[in-house]
């Protein structure tokens, strides 16, 4: 009854909002007038007014706050109520509890909030979760804001989902191209490959390989790829020979030494001069001996 009277009072305030100050009634007159007006209503009108009151209260409780100031006030008052309720349950029933409160959108100005009823609860969180409550609150906030991979260690799941999606698309395309229903994806790790320019490998090669297609178009594609590979090999070999000849031409030119080669040794000009000196010394020795 009191709530319905309050709702009637709200309607009366809205109705009389545009009246001059001298013609407005005080709160007592409004309540009395509103009560009389409510009693004069029919049952259908009372039910309609009750339904409007229920909708109004639900909107006030669950409606999003439009301004940052109203959000901050609502959060502060709600956290105080939660804290008091947890402490009251601990006192009345002997239970311990803890709570994390973080924002789930960037429009809200709020830092991660944690509360535990006693010190043992905080020690339990540190022991079991292997992290400080502030660190856990930061991770929780990061996960709720943007589903961050590093915050909740869920990057492996997203990677697997992406791989499955790509595999499904490739498999469906292969089914349409080959007409076969049973197609299985085989993954191979390739290392040490260097791709230059456009790759000569075509998707048609895999289709011909796995589907066993030996049509005229497949043979033409095979011959075309073989000719392209031969031309590339010839071009690479020619470029290599030109590079080698250019490198040889750029070497410094030196006059070669005159050498006398035999089956046992190689004698140069220096060694020939040494032998002439030795022969002259030998002739001088012979002349001295003859004297």
Q: Is the predicted pLDDT of residue 86 greater than 80, yes or no?
A: yes
pLDDT computed for residue 83 by the predictor: 92
pLDDT computed for residue 89 by the predictor: 92
Alpha-carbon dihedral 189, 192, 198, 199, rounded to 10 degrees = -50
d(CA 3, CA 46): 12
pLDDT computed for residue 44 by the predictor: 86
Nearest-5° Cα angle at 247, 241 to 249: 105
The whole-model pTM stands at 0.37
Neighbours of 71 (CB within 10 A): 17
Alpha-carbon dihedral 220, 223, 228, 232, rounded to 10 degrees = 170
The mean-pLDDT minimum among 133-137, 147-151, 215-219 falls in: 147-151
For 241-265, write each residue's pLDDT tens digit.
Answer: 777 777 666 655 555 444 444 444 4
pLDDT computed for residue 21 by the predictor: 60
């Amino acid at each position: 009854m009191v709530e319905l009277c309050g709702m009637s009072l709200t309607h009366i305030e809205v109705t009389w909002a545009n009246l001059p100050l001298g013609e407005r009634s005080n709160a007592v007159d409004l309540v009395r007038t509103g009560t009389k007006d409510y009693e004069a209503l029919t049952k259908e009108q009372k039910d309609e007014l009750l339904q409007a009151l229920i909708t109004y209260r639900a909107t006030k409780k669950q409606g999003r706050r439009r301004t940052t100031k109203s959000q901050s006030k609502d959060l502060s008052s709600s956290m105080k109520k939660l804290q008091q309720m947890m402490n009251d349950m601990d006192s009345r029933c002997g239970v311990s509890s803890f709570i994390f409160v973080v924002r789930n959108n960037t429009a809200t100005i709020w830092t991660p909030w944690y509360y535990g009823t006693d010190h043992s609860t905080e020690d339990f969180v540190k022991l079991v979760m292997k992290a400080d409550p502030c660190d856990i609150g930061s991770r929780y906030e990061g996960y709720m804001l943007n589903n961050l991979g590093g915050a909740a260690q869920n990057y492996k799941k997203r990677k697997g989902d992406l791989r499955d999606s790509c595999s499904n698309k490739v498999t469906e395309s292969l089914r349409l191209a080959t007409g076969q229903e049973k197609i299985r994806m085989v993954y191979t790790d390739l290392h040490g490959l260097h791709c230059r320019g456009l790759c000569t490998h075509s998707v048609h090669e895999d289709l011909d390989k796995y589907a066993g297609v030996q049509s005229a178009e497949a043979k033409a594609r095979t011959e075309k790829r073989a000719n392209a590979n031969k031309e590339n090999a010839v071009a690479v070999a020619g470029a290599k020979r030109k590079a080698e000849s250019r490198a040889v031409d750029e070497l410094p030119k030196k006059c070669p030494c005159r050498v006398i080669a035999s089956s046992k040794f190689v004698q140069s000009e220096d060694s020939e001069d040494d032998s002439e000196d030795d022969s002259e010394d030998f002739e001088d020795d012979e002349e001295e001996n003859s004297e």
